[in-house]
Structure 1
Amino acid sequence: MTKNKLIKLGFIMAAAMNIGGVLLFSRFFTNSMINELDPVVMSNFGLLMIVIWGLAYLASAFITSNIKWLAGAFVIEKLVYVVAWSLWLANNNLDDVYDKDVFAGIFYSIYGLNDFVFMVFFAWVFLTHIKAPKR
């Protein structure tokens, strides 16, 4: 697989994780437990903004000019979520979350790891100065 195809696939996967993950685990914004456990970051508005970030990743997959600085912005965005998740984990017990709601438990178990993986991916795109694939 060429680097350009890998970049396009990475952006599409990031979009799918943001959009699909939020819609699945929030049960299309009806899982109030996610909101209650982190009412600032994971309010329904916050979850909607995560979906919007996913749409931005999806749109980025089809940009045919240099995406270096856009990827750099995504690195910072993902870092913010990784830090927020780490602070949340330091102050909460996942076992208690699973006892209340399995979907919320899974969500809070994986969202920061997911964001870390894509932060590294976006950093790789930024640092390698690769232009988006031409089609």
Structure 2
Amino acid sequence: MKYNKVTLGFIAAAMMNIGGVLIFSRAFTNSAINQFDPVVMSNFGLLMIVVWGLAYLSAATITSGVKWLAGAFAIEKLVYVVVWLLWFKDNSLGVVYEQDLFAGMFYSIYGLNDFVFMLFFVWVFLTEGKSSKSVASQSIQ
């Protein structure tokens, strides 16, 4: 497999989702994360974040035509960023840190992490396929 920026970006997104959830949730046993957002960050919600990570890892193996998949991933990340920002309206990181260090770290960084990868997925969406279009049009002429 050729490792380029896109492939490595998808792998990094996967590792952040999978590794981040497993570490900060202590393999789904850290109930403090669930307590502070019982809808989005329930154990089911955390499991779905791991599943998204598996989707990113799968996308890393695709050699072409990943543009629209990256676009869908960008929208998914946007949703998590918005949810994270809205979470701050009714919650305090200090209270989370008082209860559990790992939960505090999780809530401190997950939205920033999703924002960075949202930008990556947008970049892939905007740039993927441009060179293949020009190559395809050249071969037709």
Query: Which 4+ residue blocks in structure 1 deviate beyond 4 angstroms?
Result: none
Q: TM-score under structure 2 normalisation?
A: 0.88
Query: Which 10-residue stretch deviates more, 106-115 or 56-65?
Result: 56-65
- The number of residues matched between the two structures is 129
**Matched residue, 1:34:** 33
Report which structure shows greater RCO (CA 8 Å, sep ≥6): 1
For the pair shown, the structure with the greater C-alpha radius of gyration is 2
Q: Distance in 2 between matches of 1:111 and 1:91?
A: 17
**Matched residue, 2:57:** 58
Q: TM-score under structure 1 normalisation?
A: 0.92
Asked if residue 105 in structure 1 is aligned to residue 104 in structure 2, the reply is yes
Q: Distance in 1 between matches of 2:86 and 2:26?
A: 24
**Matched residue, 2:70:** 71
**Matched residue, 1:128:** 127
Structure 1 gap segments, 5+ residues each: none
Structure 1 position 64, deviation (Å): 1.5
Partner deviation per Cα, 1:30-80 (whole Å, 9 max, x = no partner) = 000100100000000000000000000000001022100000000000000
Q: Distance in 1 between matches of 2:47 and 2:54?
A: 11
Identity %: 72
Structure 2 gap segments, 5+ residues each: 131-141
Structure 1 position 129, deviation (Å): 2.3
**Matched residue, 1:25:** 24
**Matched residue, 2:95:** 96
Q: Distance in 1 between matches of 2:59 and 2:93?
A: 34
Q: Distance in 1 between matches of 2:42 and 2:82?
A: 17
**Matched residue, 2:83:** 84
Structure 1 position 118, deviation (Å): 0.1
Counterpart amino acid of 2:127?
Answer: T
User: How large is the RMSD of aligned CA atoms in angstroms?
Assistant: 1.4
Query: Which 10-residue stretch deviates more, 45-54 or 60-69?
Result: 60-69
